Structure formats: C-alpha cells, structure tokens
Amino acid sequence: MRTGKRPLLLLVMAFVLLAVTACGQSASTDSGSASSPAGNKADAKPTLIYKQSCASCHAVDLSGKVGPSLQEIGSKLSEEEIFEAISSGRPGMPPFEKRLKTEEIHALAAWLANHTASDEGADQ
C-alpha cells in the first residue's frame, strides 16, 4: 500500500515544484499584447521587465493565469501599493526585492499603476 502512494506523491510534488518555480521565470520577449504603443520608449523597460518576471503568472496581456488579472490594477491599488506588492510579495506571490533592482520595481509599479479601468485596453 505504501508503494502504491509513492507515484502519486511524486507527481504531486513535481506539480507543486513546477507551479512554484513558474512565477518569475523569463517569458518570451517578442512583441506581445502587453507591449507599449509603438515609439514609446519610456514603456519599453517596464514592459520587458513585466514579460520576463510577471507574464508567466499574470499572462502577457495582463489577464491573469496563476496570478490575478492586472489589467485594471491601477484602479485598485496605488503605485506605492503596487511597489510594495512586487517588492515584498503577497499571498501566493513571491517577493521580487532580491530578483529586481529597486529602480526596476519602481518603473514596473508606475507602468502597472497606469493600467486603470478608464484605459479601455491601452497598453495591453
């Protein structure tokens, strides 16, 4: 009976490991739907940071996967609250303070804070 549970336990452990390590891994850097409008270089860096560090859990278009949708996050949280969530993490989300530079977190928080309900799909 004990050996019958071993394959199931290994499968569950592999799934949990995969889910935990998926957050924060590099995503494709092609021009997906989370990219900024053409010619706007100010958004280029936070968009790239988002694709590399966030898209695996929040989707390239910010619609959410394992993590929640960020499409209207600026309507729900202030830039400072977004910065704190990225830096320190939240339930189910790892902290990024050791993975990203402070200025990268600030740029990403400012970029995400501009995603509000009134954007009507801008920057997504």
Q: Give the mean pLDDT of the chain.
A: 78
Whether this prediction's pTM lies above 0.95 is answered by: no
- What's the rounded Cα separation, in Å, for the pair 120 and 99? 31
Per-position DSSP letters for 47-98, written without gaps between them? HHHHHHHTHHHH-TTSS-SSSPP-TTHHHHS-HHHHHHHHHH-BTTB---TT
Q: Is the pLDDT of residue 79 over 50?
A: yes
Categorize the per-residue pLDDT at 121 as very low, low, confident or very high, splitting at 50, 70 and 90: very low
pLDDT in tens, 30-72: 333 443 334 455 667 999 999 999 999 999 999 999 999 999 9
Fold of 2-119: Cytochrome Bc1 Complex; Chain D, domain 2 (1.10.760)
Domains in the chain: boundaries: 2-119
Percent of the chain with pLDDT over 70: 64
